[in-house]
Amino acid sequence: QQQQQPSQQQQQQQQPQKRFRIVALDGISDTANLGSLIRTSSAMGIDAIILSDDCCDAWYRRSVRVSMGHVFRVPIVRLESAIAADHGDGGCGNGGSDSGRGMIDVLKRLGEAGITTHAAVIDDDAQLLETVTVTNRIDTNANGITHTTNNRGWCCVLGNEGNGIRSSVAKACHFRIRIGMAQGVDSLSL
Q: Write out pLDDT tens, residues 7-64.
A: 766 665 666 678 899 999 999 999 999 999 999 999 999 999 999 999 999 999 999 9
Q: Write out pLDDT tens, residues 119-159.
A: 999 888 898 888 887 665 556 665 555 555 566 899 999 99
* 176 or 18, greater pLDDT: 176
- Determine the Cα–Cα distance for residues 38 and 145; give it in Å rounded to an integer: 29
Mean pLDDT of 162-187: 89
Mean pLDDT of 105-127: 91
List of residues 6+ apart from 173 with CB closer than 8 A: 107, 117, 118, 119, 157
- Determine the Cα–Cα distance for residues 62 and 31; give it in Å rounded to an integer: 6
